[in-house]
Protein backbone atom coordinates (compact mmCIF):
# COMPACT_ATOMS: atom_id res chain seq x y z
CA UNK A 1 0.00 0.00 0.00
CA UNK A 2 1.39 3.37 -0.97
CA UNK A 3 1.95 5.99 1.77
CA UNK A 4 -0.54 8.78 2.39
CA UNK A 5 0.39 11.87 0.40
CA UNK A 6 -0.42 15.26 1.92
CA UNK A 7 -0.30 18.69 0.33
CA UNK A 8 0.86 21.33 2.83
CA UNK A 9 0.05 24.93 1.88
CA UNK A 10 1.71 28.00 3.37
CA UNK A 11 1.41 31.73 2.83
CA UNK A 12 3.61 33.80 0.51
CA UNK A 13 2.68 37.11 2.17
CA UNK A 14 5.20 38.83 4.44
CA UNK A 15 4.02 42.43 5.05
CA UNK A 16 1.97 43.12 8.20
CA UNK A 17 -0.35 45.68 6.64
CA UNK A 18 1.19 49.15 6.48
CA UNK A 19 3.07 48.78 9.78
CA UNK A 20 6.43 48.18 8.11
CA UNK A 21 6.71 44.96 10.13
CA UNK A 22 7.08 41.47 8.71
CA UNK A 23 4.69 38.55 9.06
CA UNK A 24 4.26 35.21 7.27
CA UNK A 25 3.88 31.59 8.33
CA UNK A 26 3.74 30.73 12.03
CA UNK A 27 6.49 28.11 12.25
CA UNK A 28 4.83 25.80 14.81
CA UNK A 29 1.85 25.31 12.49
CA UNK A 30 4.17 23.78 9.91
CA UNK A 31 6.88 22.17 12.02
CA UNK A 32 4.65 20.13 14.33
CA UNK A 33 2.53 18.52 11.55
CA UNK A 34 5.63 18.20 9.33
CA UNK A 35 7.22 15.69 11.70
CA UNK A 36 3.96 13.98 12.68
CA UNK A 37 3.25 13.29 9.01
CA UNK A 38 6.83 12.22 8.34
CA UNK A 39 7.04 9.88 11.31
CA UNK A 40 3.71 8.28 10.37
CA UNK A 41 5.19 7.34 6.99
CA UNK A 42 3.22 9.93 5.02
CA UNK A 43 4.82 11.90 2.21
CA UNK A 44 4.14 15.55 1.53
CA UNK A 45 4.64 18.48 -0.81
CA UNK A 46 4.99 22.04 0.49
CA UNK A 47 3.31 24.65 -1.72
CA UNK A 48 2.46 28.35 -1.55
CA UNK A 49 0.56 30.85 -3.70
CA UNK A 50 3.72 32.25 -5.30
CA UNK A 51 6.06 29.31 -4.85
CA UNK A 52 9.66 29.76 -3.79
CA UNK A 53 10.66 30.97 -0.34
CA UNK A 54 7.96 30.89 2.34
CA UNK A 55 8.26 33.87 4.74
CA UNK A 56 8.32 33.11 8.45
CA UNK A 57 6.84 35.32 11.13
CA UNK A 58 9.96 36.24 13.08
CA UNK A 59 8.14 35.98 16.39
CA UNK A 60 7.42 32.32 15.65
CA UNK A 61 11.17 31.67 15.47
CA UNK A 62 11.76 33.11 18.94
CA UNK A 63 13.12 30.94 21.73
CA UNK A 64 10.17 32.16 23.81
CA UNK A 65 7.68 30.15 21.75
CA UNK A 66 10.06 27.41 20.59
CA UNK A 67 9.23 23.76 21.09
CA UNK A 68 10.92 20.49 20.17
CA UNK A 69 9.49 20.48 16.64
CA UNK A 70 10.35 24.10 15.79
CA UNK A 71 13.91 23.71 17.10
CA UNK A 72 14.29 20.50 15.11
CA UNK A 73 12.93 22.17 11.97
CA UNK A 74 15.32 25.11 12.29
CA UNK A 75 18.27 22.67 12.26
CA UNK A 76 16.90 20.34 9.59
CA UNK A 77 18.54 21.05 6.19
CA UNK A 78 15.89 19.10 4.27
CA UNK A 79 13.03 20.97 5.95
CA UNK A 80 14.72 24.34 5.41
CA UNK A 81 15.30 23.51 1.75
CA UNK A 82 11.60 22.78 1.31
CA UNK A 83 10.74 26.09 2.98
CA UNK A 84 13.04 27.89 0.55
CA UNK A 85 11.66 26.14 -2.54
CA UNK A 86 7.91 25.68 -2.13
CA UNK A 87 5.89 24.64 -5.19
CA UNK A 88 3.56 27.19 -6.84
CA UNK A 89 -0.07 26.27 -6.17
CA UNK A 90 -1.22 26.61 -9.76
CA UNK A 91 0.95 23.67 -10.83
CA UNK A 92 -0.76 21.14 -8.52
CA UNK A 93 -3.82 18.88 -8.77
CA UNK A 94 -6.01 17.56 -5.96
CA UNK A 95 -6.11 14.04 -7.41
CA UNK A 96 -2.38 13.68 -6.72
CA UNK A 97 -2.94 13.90 -2.95
CA UNK A 98 -4.99 12.19 -0.25
CA UNK A 99 -5.41 15.29 1.91
CA UNK A 100 -4.49 18.95 2.16
CA UNK A 101 -3.32 20.86 5.23
CA UNK A 102 -3.48 24.67 5.29
CA UNK A 103 -1.03 26.31 7.67
CA UNK A 104 -1.68 29.69 9.23
CA UNK A 105 0.26 32.70 10.32
CA UNK A 106 -1.16 36.19 9.80
CA UNK A 107 0.19 36.32 6.24
CA UNK A 108 -2.55 33.89 5.19
CA UNK A 109 -5.23 36.53 5.82
CA UNK A 110 -3.83 38.52 2.90
CA UNK A 111 -3.18 35.87 0.25
CA UNK A 112 -5.49 32.92 0.97
CA UNK A 113 -8.97 34.50 0.60
CA UNK A 114 -9.78 35.31 -3.01
CA UNK A 115 -6.82 33.36 -4.39
CA UNK A 116 -8.26 31.64 -7.48
CA UNK A 117 -5.79 28.74 -7.85
CA UNK A 118 -6.18 28.00 -4.13
CA UNK A 119 -9.98 28.20 -4.27
CA UNK A 120 -10.14 25.91 -7.31
CA UNK A 121 -7.71 23.41 -5.79
CA UNK A 122 -9.61 23.20 -2.49
CA UNK A 123 -12.95 22.84 -4.25
CA UNK A 124 -11.46 19.91 -6.17
CA UNK A 125 -10.34 18.33 -2.89
CA UNK A 126 -13.88 18.65 -1.60
CA UNK A 127 -15.55 17.35 -4.79
CA UNK A 128 -13.24 14.34 -4.71
CA UNK A 129 -14.09 13.76 -1.01
CA UNK A 130 -10.55 14.24 0.15
CA UNK A 131 -9.74 15.59 3.60
CA UNK A 132 -9.13 19.30 4.14
CA UNK A 133 -7.30 20.38 7.30
CA UNK A 134 -6.86 24.05 8.15
CA UNK A 135 -5.44 25.76 11.20
CA UNK A 136 -5.72 29.24 12.68
CA UNK A 137 -5.52 31.88 9.91
CA UNK A 138 -5.25 29.13 7.30
CA UNK A 139 -8.99 28.60 7.74
CA UNK A 140 -9.45 31.89 5.83
CA UNK A 141 -8.93 29.92 2.60
CA UNK A 142 -12.34 28.28 3.10
CA UNK A 143 -14.13 31.64 2.83
CA UNK A 144 -13.74 31.82 -0.95
CA UNK A 145 -14.97 28.29 -1.63
CA UNK A 146 -18.30 27.24 -3.08
CA UNK A 147 -20.08 23.90 -2.85
CA UNK A 148 -21.01 21.88 -5.94
CA UNK A 149 -24.42 23.54 -5.65
CA UNK A 150 -22.81 26.98 -5.82
CA UNK A 151 -23.46 27.87 -2.18
CA UNK A 152 -20.98 29.32 0.31
CA UNK A 153 -18.80 26.42 1.43
CA UNK A 154 -18.57 27.36 5.11
CA UNK A 155 -22.32 27.92 5.55
CA UNK A 156 -23.70 25.60 8.23
CA UNK A 157 -20.31 23.97 8.89
CA UNK A 158 -18.90 23.48 12.38
CA UNK A 159 -15.62 25.40 12.20
CA UNK A 160 -13.03 27.02 14.40
CA UNK A 161 -10.16 29.41 13.56
CA UNK A 162 -8.14 32.28 15.01
CA UNK A 163 -10.47 34.19 17.33
CA UNK A 164 -10.95 37.87 18.07
CA UNK A 165 -9.97 37.56 21.72
CA UNK A 166 -6.58 36.07 20.78
CA UNK A 167 -6.00 38.88 18.26
CA UNK A 168 -6.74 41.44 20.99
CA UNK A 169 -4.17 39.84 23.28
CA UNK A 170 -1.62 40.06 20.45
CA UNK A 171 -2.53 43.72 19.85
CA UNK A 172 -3.37 43.12 16.18
CA UNK A 173 -7.09 43.86 16.02
CA UNK A 174 -6.65 47.12 14.11
CA UNK A 175 -3.78 45.87 11.94
CA UNK A 176 -5.31 42.85 10.24
CA UNK A 177 -7.34 43.14 7.01
CA UNK A 178 -10.40 41.57 8.65
CA UNK A 179 -11.59 39.55 11.64
CA UNK A 180 -11.57 35.88 10.65
CA UNK A 181 -13.99 34.95 13.42
CA UNK A 182 -16.49 37.59 12.28
CA UNK A 183 -16.06 36.71 8.59
CA UNK A 184 -16.81 33.04 9.22
CA UNK A 185 -19.90 33.86 11.26
CA UNK A 186 -21.11 36.35 8.64
CA UNK A 187 -20.70 33.66 5.97
CA UNK A 188 -22.93 31.30 7.94
CA UNK A 189 -20.38 29.06 9.63
CA UNK A 190 -21.24 27.58 13.01
CA UNK A 191 -18.15 29.01 14.67
CA UNK A 192 -16.88 27.96 18.09
CA UNK A 193 -13.69 28.43 20.06
CA UNK A 194 -11.99 27.09 23.12
CA UNK A 195 -9.96 29.00 25.70
CA UNK A 196 -7.47 31.45 24.20
CA UNK A 197 -4.28 29.77 22.95
CA UNK A 198 -5.40 26.27 24.01
CA UNK A 199 -5.87 23.43 21.53
CA UNK A 200 -9.34 23.25 20.01
CA UNK A 201 -10.20 21.29 16.88
CA UNK A 202 -13.46 20.49 15.09
CA UNK A 203 -14.34 17.94 12.43
CA UNK A 204 -17.27 18.42 10.06
CA UNK A 205 -17.41 15.81 7.32
CA UNK A 206 -14.13 15.92 5.43
CA UNK A 207 -13.08 19.26 6.97
CA UNK A 208 -10.96 19.52 10.13
CA UNK A 209 -10.13 22.93 11.59
CA UNK A 210 -7.94 24.08 14.47
CA UNK A 211 -8.18 27.32 16.44
CA UNK A 212 -4.50 28.18 16.89
CA UNK A 213 -0.94 26.91 16.79
CA UNK A 214 -1.50 24.90 19.98
CA UNK A 215 -3.97 22.83 17.94
CA UNK A 216 -1.31 21.74 15.43
CA UNK A 217 -0.54 18.40 17.02
CA UNK A 218 -4.16 17.37 17.53
CA UNK A 219 -5.19 18.47 14.04
CA UNK A 220 -2.33 16.65 12.30
CA UNK A 221 -3.09 13.44 14.16
CA UNK A 222 -6.82 13.74 13.45
CA UNK A 223 -6.11 14.26 9.75
CA UNK A 224 -4.00 11.10 9.58
CA UNK A 225 -6.43 8.98 11.62
CA UNK A 226 -9.42 10.16 9.59
CA UNK A 227 -7.73 9.46 6.27
CA UNK A 228 -6.64 6.01 7.46
CA UNK A 229 -10.14 5.21 8.71
CA UNK A 230 -11.73 6.28 5.40
CA UNK A 231 -9.24 4.09 3.55
CA UNK A 232 -10.15 1.13 5.77
CA UNK A 233 -13.89 1.68 5.16
CA UNK A 234 -13.79 2.27 1.43
CA UNK A 235 -10.69 0.41 0.33
CA UNK A 236 -9.58 3.47 -1.62
CA UNK A 237 -7.18 6.34 -0.94
CA UNK A 238 -9.91 8.98 -0.67
CA UNK A 239 -12.70 9.83 1.74
pLDDT of residue 214 exceeding 80, the answer is yes
Residues 118, 222, 189, 26, CA torsion sign: negative
pLDDT of residue 239 exceeding 70, the answer is no
Q: Please enumerate in sequence order all residues whose Cβ is within 8 A of that of 160, keeping only pairs 6 or more positions apart, or say none.
A: 139, 191, 192, 193, 194, 200, 201, 202, 209, 210, 211, 215
pLDDT band for position 146 (50/70/90)?
Answer: very high
| pTM of the shown model | 0.96
pLDDT tens digit string along 33-70?
999 999 999 999 999 999 999 999 999 999 889 999 99
pLDDT at 231 (0 to 100): 76
Q: Which of 203, 22, 31, 12 shows the shortest CA–CA distance to 89? A: 12
pLDDT at 236 (0 to 100): 58
* Residue bearing the bigger pLDDT, 1 or 44: 44
pLDDT tens digit string along 166-201?
999 999 999 999 999 999 999 999 999 999 999 999
pLDDT band for position 230 (50/70/90)?
Answer: confident
pLDDT of residue 234 exceeding 80, the answer is no
At residue 41, φ and ψ (nearest 5 deg) are 90, 5
Of the options 3.40.50.880, 3.30.70.20, 2.60.40.420, 3.40.50.300, the CATH number for the domain spanning 5-234: 3.40.50.880
pLDDT tens digit string along 75-127?
999 999 999 999 999 999 999 999 999 999 999 999 999 999 999 999 999 99
Spatial contact of 239 and 125, defined as CB atoms under 8 Å apart: no
Q: Please enumerate in sequence order all residues whose Cβ is within 8 A of that of 78, keeping only pairs 6 or more positions apart, or say none.
A: none
Q: Please enumerate in sequence order all residues whose Cβ is within 8 A of that of 122, keeping only pairs 6 or more positions apart, or say none.
A: 94, 100, 132, 141, 142, 145
pLDDT at 217 (0 to 100): 98
Amino acid sequence: MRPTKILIIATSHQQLGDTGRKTGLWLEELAVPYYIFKEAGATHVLASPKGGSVPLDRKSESIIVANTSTRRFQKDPDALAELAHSIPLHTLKAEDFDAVYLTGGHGALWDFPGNEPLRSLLEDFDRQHRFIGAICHGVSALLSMKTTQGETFVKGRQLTAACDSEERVLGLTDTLPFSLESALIAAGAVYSKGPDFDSHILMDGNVITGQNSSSSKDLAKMLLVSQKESLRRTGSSVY
